[in-house]
Amino acid sequence: MNRKAVVLLSGGLDSATTLAIARNQSYQCHALSFNYGQRHSIELKAAKRIAMSLGAHQHKVLEVDLTQIGGSALTDARIAVPETGVTGIPVTYVPARNTIFLAFALAYAETINAFDIFIGVNAVDYSGYPDCRPEYIESFVHTANLATRSGVEGGVYRIHTPLIQLTKAEIIKKGMELGVDYALTVSCYQPDDEGRGCGVCDSCRFRLKGFELAGSADPAQYQ
Amino acid sequence: MNRKAVVLLSGGLDSATTLAIARNQSYQCHALSFNYGQRHSIELKAAKRIAMSLGAHQHKVLEVDLTQIGGSALTDARIAVPETGVTGIPVTYVPARNTIFLAFALAYAETINAFDIFIGVNAVDYSGYPDCRPEYIESFVHTANLATRSGVEGGVYRIHTPLIQLTKAEIIKKGMELGVDYALTVSCYQPDDEGRGCGVCDSCRFRLKGFELAGSADPAQYQ
């Protein structure tokens, strides 16, 4: 039987590519998404389509309401999404989001007896979020192995970050090789009700630039 | 102004004592509880009473449904709570629970601009849960400082574990010195609707033994 993996799947370009990579490595993929009160919750519909099209074994959507915490443009409607590049970590940073998501991924992995977790973090063409950096991921995995029954009993959790050192253009090329249909993905932080991107938020700008440098047209729709 | 602290408050004996210690150290205490689908959710009523009686500045209850994950006698009604001591880590272990709770505490701390988090974990009179050990806590705090905007910008998160090396009897004596009313606390994993303990689960047994060794009567009610 193929090894199980938990794959964090937002519905965006990076996590779709990550799922394709995990599948290509023959993992039985348990995709995990979060309905966390994100203003772009339409990405969850995209996640569902992507999980199906890329052959995930299962797709689970957890209800984890981060609007109870707030503190980010993505989880507090009163904070606007920036539409031009900003210096430093932007207000779209969600406090401790990846730590919360990875903690749930770890709990889920332990419950289904998986030891591999895939996450599409990237530390090249990104918004400077601290919890996307390699040193953060390395520290989390160390914590994970101390945190769990399975870790104590000799299992070893691994967190796979296949995109972490790739440019956006490299990610797109890799995904196209693996048959990812990027028309299914939603990257925008503030898409309209049809999932069409704004074209101006950080996430849209990194995406559009990536397709341009990859020499491809972005099949996503824009407003 | 007093420094802010986030204090994890379950409603049990240990976390009540921890809150009293944090208050005694003059922190402005933001108590944080979780409605996680625990079978002993009556502990949340206890948490509310304790927060008030010990002078927490605020008490927030987060809805974080861990029954979506399951895998524990505390979050899956089909798994029975053991009523005699067991070898190894018992089925009341909740996969990655403290990692999830600490991740939320970190997010909340970052949002309210606190850098101190108190958690009443104990590695002496405990059930052998891996995420109560000092090495786990040390690793989490390292991860926390890499995870966050505040960490990157030079803030330093601290996780305080004032009970970690105390026996249950020492915890009780400490709490009584600080005026904790243990009649308000609920430790049992399977209390009745009035919050009365079963007297036989791990948590009740550690508690009763602790009061006995502390030379005090347990003011909690039992079925």
pLDDT averaged over 10-residue windows placed end to end, chain A, 223 residues: 93 98 98 95 96 98 96 93 86 95 98 97 90 97 96 94 97 98 96 95 95 97 95
pLDDT for A84 = 86
CB contact under 8 A, A107 and B69: yes
pLDDT for A193 = 92
pLDDT for A214 = 97
Q: Which two tokens stand for residue B163?
A: 């009970």
- Average pLDDT, integer, range B107-126: 95
Q: Does B126 touch chain A (CB under 8 A)?
A: no
How far A80 CA lies from chain B's nearest CA (Å)?
17
- DSSP code string of B4-23: EEEEE--SSHHHHHHHHHHH
pLDDT for B73 = 93
Each residue's pLDDT tens digit, B75-88: 999 999 999 877 88
Each residue's pLDDT tens digit, B179-219: 999 999 999 999 999 999 999 999 999 999 999 999 999 99
Lookup result for tokens 């090329």: A173
* Degrees, nearest 5: CA angle B27-B32-B35: 170
Q: Does A209 touch chain B (CB under 8 A)?
A: no
Could you report the predicted ipTM of this complex, rounded to two decimals?
A: 0.95
CA B206 to each of CA B12, B103, B126, B212: distance values in angstroms, whole numbers, following the listed order: 12, 27, 7, 10
pLDDT averaged over every residue in chain B: 95
How far A208 CA lies from chain B's nearest CA (Å)?
26
pTM of the complete model: 0.96
pLDDT for A178 = 98
Q: Does A79 touch chain B (CB under 8 A)?
A: no
pLDDT for A139 = 98
CB contact under 8 A, B147 and A99: yes
Each residue's pLDDT tens digit, A21-79: 999 999 999 999 999 999 999 999 999 999 999 999 999 999 999 999 999 999 999 99
Q: Which two tokens stand for residue A52?
A: 């199906």
Q: Does B91 touch chain A (CB under 8 A)?
A: no
Size of interface A-B (CB pairs under 8 A): 136
Each residue's pLDDT tens digit, B53-112: 999 999 999 999 999 999 999 999 999 999 987 788 999 999 999 999 999 999 999 999
Picking from A70, A107, A135, the nearest residue to B111 by CB comes out as A70
All residues of chain B having their beta carbon less than 8 Å from the beta carbon of residue A95 are 106-108, 110-111, 148-149
- Average pLDDT, integer, range B148-163: 95
- DSSP code string of chain B: -PPEEEEE--SSHHHHHHHHHHHHTT-EEEEEEEE---TTTTHHHHHHHHHHHTT-SEEEEEE--GGGT--STTT-TTSPPPSS--SSS-TT--TTHHHHHHHHHHHHHHHHT--EEE----SSSS---GGGSHHHHHHHHHHHHHHSHHHHTT---EEE-TTTT--HHHHHHHHHHTT--GGG----SS--TT--B-S-SHHHHHHHHHHHHHT----S-B-
Picking from B65, B70, B149, the nearest residue to A130 by CB comes out as B149
List the domains of chain B with CATH numbers: 4-214 (3.40.50.620)
How far B123 CA lies from chain A's nearest CA (Å)?
13
pLDDT for B171 = 98
Q: How far apart are CA B102 and CA B119, in angstroms?
A: 9
